[in-house]
Every structure is written in structure tokens, then in C-alpha cells.
């Protein structure tokens, strides 16, 4: 059985010029122990669809789906209170800007212990012990001392490690990483990706990797979904996507990579785009 199963997800926002469809009929499945990458450019609806799964969209968004089930439970029918119990515990999310997603007014120790208190109800000593354990698991040196630090005292890479520690604090079944390395340097990116892949393997988590970087996809994913303007253009396992992309859009994206440049000008996506039908039907 799939861990997360979404069928025909539609997210609409009410705007001054009528409703705007950010996600238009996306279906996907994530299995346990699987790394799914969702690739697309800005505005392709990749983040919005995952925020819909997490229930983090503002009230202006209208979310509909034929099916949206996590671990056998229907997410559409959950009450907000039940959903809050699930989010952060069984499924967790890491955001793009680590420095901005931590609260600057509290120590990182307080922020990680808050999760442990709310979801697991651990007492003070157990919380602290677990926080130290988590910090060492994500490779933060001198964890006991670091608990007392504020986000501004740490580098971007360290803050992202804290975010990951918070996300995996309750051993989630599904981890959603929304552009986890976009704001980081390449050497730090490598460390964070290695860390995520190690944790994913150790805990047997399902991992959804949202990214626009084809290199990150190639280094992490088992299966890939390519999105464009809110629609799913292609779904394939990682090798066949890079070896023989089926949709024109994927092909255009791959050839726009500077490392694949032929000649002295890059082909641009607009030159490739013909009106292409998105892949219909349920996910594999």
C-alpha cells in the first residue's frame, strides 16, 4: 500500500481576476522507503501541492481531490485538530530558507523540544536528551552547547541541520523537503543531501524532494514527477527520465542545462514548448 496517495488534486486561489489554478489535476503516490522527486520551475505548483498535503495553505486556497490519503487515512475528512496531531509527527516538512523558517526569538533547543513536548509528551530531561541525540544524528558539533544558541548565531547549513532535526524528531513516516538546499553553497548542499539520504535509508522514510535542480534529482531520486504550470508533464523512474525523456518539456529542461550545451548558445524552453497534454490518469 502506498504511504501517500493523491488523485486529481486541484488547488485554486481566489484572485481579483477570478480563480487561479495553481495545481491542476495532479496524481501521485509515494511508497515507504521511496524517494520521489518533484521537479518544476517556479509557478509549476510543486510547493503548493505539498503544502496542500500538509494542510498549510491559507484559507483563501480551495483544495479538492478525488483522493488524498496518508497511511490509510483520508486527509480530506480529518478535523483540523486531528490533522495538527499528524502533521509534524507522522509527516514533516523542511523548507527552503532555513534561517527564515526558524523563529529568531527562541533558542534552537526550545524549538526542537517544543515538537517533542507537543507530539510525544516527553518530560524535560527526556526532551533534552532526545534533542542532543537528534543534533548529533544530523551532525551538529557540540550539540549540548548548541541547544542554547539562537538561529542567528548559526550558519545557513547549520540552521538547515536544525530544521532536519526538528522534522525527524518524531520519526516521521514521510518527509517532505521543499528545496532543502537551494539557499546553500554546493559543498554544504552535498553534505545536506548526503545527510537526508542517510536518514531516509536508516529510518525507512518516504521522502518527497521538491526541487528545480536537475542535479539534485539525479543524485537523490528513485522516481521523478515533472510539473509545469500546475500539471504533471511526466512521471518516470530516474534513469529513464534522464535517458529517454518522453515529454517535450522534460527534454527542453534537460537540454537547457549548461553542462549539456551543444554549440555556443543554449536551447531555451520556450522554443520547445508546444501545447502538450499532461499525462492523465492515476499514478504508477
Q: In this chain, which of 3, 159, 162, 253 binds other proteins, going by CB under 8 A? A: 253
Q: In this chain, which of 21, 83, 212, 246 binds other proteins, going by CB under 8 A? A: 212
| Helix (H/G/I), strand (E/B), else coil: 263 | coil
**254 binds other proteins per the rule CB under 8 A:** yes
Contacts of 138-141 spanning 24+ positions with Cβ under 8 A: 138/162, 138/164, 138/165, 138/168, 138/195, 138/199, 139/191, 139/195, 140/165
Q: Which three cell numbers stand for residue 43?
A: 509557478
Measure the N-to-C terminal CA separation of the chain; round to a whole number of Å: 12
User: Which range, of 55-63, 64-72, 134-142, 211-219, touches other proteins by CB under 8 A?
Assistant: 211-219
**189 binds other proteins per the rule CB under 8 A:** yes
Pair 203, 170: CB distance under 8 Å: no
**198 binds other proteins per the rule CB under 8 A:** no
C-alpha distances out from residue 186 to 156, 176, 181, 190, 261, Å: 12, 21, 8, 6, 21
Pick between residue 141 and residue 258 the one whose CB is nearest to other proteins. 258
Pick between residue 204 and residue 215 the one whose CB is nearest to other proteins. 215
**233 binds other proteins per the rule CB under 8 A:** no
Closest approach of other proteins to the CB of residue 44, in Å: 9
What span, in angstroms and rounded, lies between the C-alpha atoms of 3 and 80? 20
Q: In the structure, how many helices (H) and strands (E) does the chain have?
A: 12, 11
Pick between residue 33 and residue 89 the one whose CB is nearest to other proteins. 33
Pair 210, 177: CB distance under 8 Å: yes
List binders of other proteins among 13-32 (CB under 8 A). none
Q: Which three cell numbers stand for residue 253?
A: 529542461
List binders of other proteins among 261-280 (CB under 8 A). 261, 264-270
User: Which range, of 50-58, 114-122, 246-254, 275-283, touches other proteins by CB under 8 A?
Assistant: 246-254
Applying CB under 8 A, the residues found at the interface with other proteins are 41-42, 156, 185-190, 193, 201, 212-219, 238-239, 242-243, 252-254, 256-261, 264-270
Amino acid at each position: 500500500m502506498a504511504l501517500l496517495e493523491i488523485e486529481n488534486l486541484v488547488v485554486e486561489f481566489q484572485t481579483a481576476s477570478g480563480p487561479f489554478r495553481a495545481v491542476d489535476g495532479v496524481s501521485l503516490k509515494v511508497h515507504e522507503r521511496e524517494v520521489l522527486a518533484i521537479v518544476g520551475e517556479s509557478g509549476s505548483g510543486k510547493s503548493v501541492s505539498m503544502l496542500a498535503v500538509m494542510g498549510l495553505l491559507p484559507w483563501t486556497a480551495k483544495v479538492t481531490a478525488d483522493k488524498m490519503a496518508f497511511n490509510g487515512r483520508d486527509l480530506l475528512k480529518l478535523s483540523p485538530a486531528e490533522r495538527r496531531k499528524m502533521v509534524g509527527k507522522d509527516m514533516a516538512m523542511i523548507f527552503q530558507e532555513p534561517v527564515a523558517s526558524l523563529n529568531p526569538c527562541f533558542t534552537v533547543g526550545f524549538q526542537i523540544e517544543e515538537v517533542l513536548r507537543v507530539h510525544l509528551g516527553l518530560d524535560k530531561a527526556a526532551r533534552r536528551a532526545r534533542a542532543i541525540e537528534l543534533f548529533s544524528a544530523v551532525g551538529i558539533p557540540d550539540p549540548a552547547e548548541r541547544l542554547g544558541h539562537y538561529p542567528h548565531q548559526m550558519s545557513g547549513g547549520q540552521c538547515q541541520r536544525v530544521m532536519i532535526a526538528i522534522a525527524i524528531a518524531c520519526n516521521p513516516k514521510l518527509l517532505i523537503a521543499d528545496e532543502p538546499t537551494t539557499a546553500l553553497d554546493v559543498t554544504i548542499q552535498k553534505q545536506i543531501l548526503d545527510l537526508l539520504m542517510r536518514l531516509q535509508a536508516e529510518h525507512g522514510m518516504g521522502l518527497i524532494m521538491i526541487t528545480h535542480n536537475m542535479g539534485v534529482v539525479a543524485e537523490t531520486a528513485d522516481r521523478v514527477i515533472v510539473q509545469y504550470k500546475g500539471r504533471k508533464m511526466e512521471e518516470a523512474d530516474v534513469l529513464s527520465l534522464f535517458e529517454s525523456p518522453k515529454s517535450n518539456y522534460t527534454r527542453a529542461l534537460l537540454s537547457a542545462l549548461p553542462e549539456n550545451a551543444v554549440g555556443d548558445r543554449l536551447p531555451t524552453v520556450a522554443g520547445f514548448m508546444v501545447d502538450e497534454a499532461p499525462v492523465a490518469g492515476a499514478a504508477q
